Amino acid sequence: MVPGDEATLMAGATASQADIELLRARLGLDRPLVKQYAARLVGLARGDFGYSSTFRGNPLPHVLARLPATLLLMGAAIALTVALGLPAGVLAAVRQNRWPDYLLSLLVVGLLAIPNFWLGLMLIGALSVDRGWLPSFGFTGWASLVMPTLALAARLVALVARMTRGVMLEELAKDYVRTARAKGLGTPAVVGHHVLRNALIPTVTVIGLQTGYLLGGSVVVERLFAWPGVGDLMINAVGARDYTLVQAITILFVSGFLLINLMVDVLYVLINPRLRHA
């Protein structure tokens, strides 16, 4: 059981006990737990998430209205991860123990160690307050997307780069690579046609699993940038003891996580033709 009472918080500090009881009755919080639970389940099946004290009604439309902003941020972060992390890992593996590799290792350690909220604060300070290049908060245009995406994706870029490098090195040492080279193929062809496809599988897995991190990170990053997304809503809901809203968002987050991992499974098949016949 979660401590705290929604009705007490909603009625406020000046409310009397009688007012709280009245509110409790109106919210249905005075019914037996089993009944409350059953009613909640039936409601869920019909898309009615119950009474949210924040929105004074079913929170679902409001949560859905916030969803595009969060999806946009997550999508941008994943895109940035693929665009930066993957080539960086490949480059480091191909140039193993030379300066691109060392530089990458340094960056990876740095980016993994930096917490996203701190990076976000530094970005706001440098790019927004000092230079005025980017808007510091909210969503007012595509420029608004830059800093939240960087703050959210930094860790993931580092993780994917390191992962890709490791897998690439492993694959590069395999027999089929020697065969390919023996055929007379140059490095770009070997890496592009043969190694990368094999190396992609673990990388895609990591991105899928890290969606959980992205969702958690979006709560922090959205708060920092006052991003009009679901994560920002989540913090408010917890503060206001709006359990209905917390539940709605949690269910949405879980569905999102499952959906992305389903997509990852589909991607496996696309990347690796062998799985189609398995």
Partner 1 sequence: MNRRTALTLLSTAAASPFTLGSPLRALAQATAARTLTYGQSGAVTALDPAQGSFATYPAGYEVAYCLYDRLVDFDENLKFVPQLAESWDVAPDLKSIRFRLRKNVRFHDGTAFNAQAVKFNVERLIDKARNPTNRPLWDPVADADVVDEHTVAIRTKAPYSQLLNSLAHGSGSMVSPAAVEKHGDKGIAQNPVGAGPYRLEAFTPGQEVVLRAFDGYWGGKPATDRLVFKYILEASTRIAALRTGSVDVIDSVPVQLVAGLRKEANVEVVVRPSLRPMGLAINLSRPPYDDPRVRRALNHAIPVETIAERVFFGFAKASDAPLAFDTQGYQKQRPYEYSVAKAKALLVEAGFKPGAGGQLEREGKPLKMTLLASEGLFPGDVNIAEIAQRAFQQIGIDVTISKIERGSYWDALRQERAALAFDLAVFGFNPSNASGLYHLESLFKSNADDAARPTVWNMGRYRNPKVDELLAQANSNPDPAKQLAAMGEAQRIVWEDAPYVWLHVNQNVTAFRKGIKGVELWPIVFTIARRARVEA
Q: Which of 224, 246, 249, 252 binds partner 1 (CB under 8 A)?
A: 224
At closest approach, how far in Å is the CB of 128 from partner 1? 5
**Window contacting partner 1 (CB under 8 A); options: 83-91, 166-174, 222-230, 247-255:** 222-230
Q: Which of 43, 71, 223, 261 binds partner 1 (CB under 8 A)?
A: 223
Cα separation, 148 vs 231, in Å, equals 13
Asked if residue 247 binds partner 1 (CB under 8 A), the reply is no
**Window contacting partner 1 (CB under 8 A); options: 5-13, 80-88, 108-116, 208-216:** 5-13
Asked if residue 22 binds partner 1 (CB under 8 A), the reply is yes
Asked if residue 72 binds partner 1 (CB under 8 A), the reply is no
At closest approach, how far in Å is the CB of 11 from partner 1? 6
Asked if residue 114 binds partner 1 (CB under 8 A), the reply is no
Q: Which of 105, 136, 205, 272 binds partner 1 (CB under 8 A)?
A: 136
Note whether 147 and 127 are within 8 A (CB): yes
Tokens of 113: 């160690």
Cα separation, 54 vs 51, in Å, equals 9
Cα separation, 82 vs 50, in Å, equals 39
Cα separation, 93 vs 157, in Å, equals 16
**Window contacting partner 1 (CB under 8 A); options: 163-171, 206-214, 235-243, 265-273:** 235-243
- Identify the residue whose tokens are 């039936």: 42
- SS3 at position 55: coil
Half-sphere exposure of 241 (CA within 13 A, CB side): 11
Asked if residue 165 binds partner 1 (CB under 8 A), the reply is no
Of the pair 63, 191, the CB lying nearest partner 1 is at 63
At closest approach, how far in Å is the CB of 202 from partner 1? 30
- CB-count exposure of residue 223 (10 Å: 0-12, 13-18, 19+): middle
Judged by phi (left if over 0) then psi (alpha if -120 to 50, else beta), residue 138 lies in: left
Among 225, 227, 245, residue whose Cα is nearest residue 236: 245
Asked if residue 188 binds partner 1 (CB under 8 A), the reply is no
Q: Which of 39, 185, 240, 264 binds partner 1 (CB under 8 A)?
A: 240
Query: Kind and range of the H or E element at 134?
Result: none
Note whether 243 and 6 are within 8 A (CB): yes
Asked if residue 121 binds partner 1 (CB under 8 A), the reply is yes
- Identify the residue whose tokens are 């496809």: 197
- From first CA to last CA, the distance across the chain in angstroms is 46
Q: Which of 60, 124, 200, 206 binds partner 1 (CB under 8 A)?
A: 124
Asked if residue 105 binds partner 1 (CB under 8 A), the reply is no
Q: Which of 236, 258, 263, 265 binds partner 1 (CB under 8 A)?
A: 236
Q: Would you tell me which residues interact with partner 1 (CB under 8 A)?
A: 2-5, 8-19, 22-23, 26, 53-57, 62, 66, 121, 124-125, 128-129, 131-138, 223-226, 228, 232-233, 235-236, 240-241
